[in-house]
Amino acid sequence: MKLSTAIVRFETQLRADGRSERTRQAYLRDLRKLLTWLGKDVPVTAITPDALARFLGDGNGTHSPLTVNRTKTV
């Protein structure tokens, strides 16, 4: 499954779980940033822990601890 498809399905699951609009938007914003950072829509299985670590470290200090922790839980 491609990341863009997984994001749509994750949003559906967040809604079904009754997550607030703000929570959903925060998670989706982080995932869309990852999609943009990757530069192409890749299969989820191709996203390695190393790639995620580089994504989180590539913010030049723009990723707050809250964002990093939230991203790790997705």
State the CB neighbour count (10 A cutoff) for residue 41: 12
Q: Residue 69: which domain range?
A: 3-73
Q: What is the pLDDT of residue 56?
A: 84
Q: How many domains are there within the chain?
A: 1
Q: What is the pLDDT of residue 11?
A: 97
Three-state DSSP class for residue 43: strand
Per-residue tokens: 56: 């989180």
**With a cut of 70, which residues of the chain have pLDDT below it?**
59-74
Query: 22: Cβ–Cβ under 8 A, 6 or more apart, which residues?
Result: none
As a whole number of angstroms, the distance between CA 21 and CA 64 comes to 20
Q: What is the pLDDT of residue 74?
A: 57
pTM exceeding 0.85: no
Q: What is the pLDDT of residue 73?
A: 60
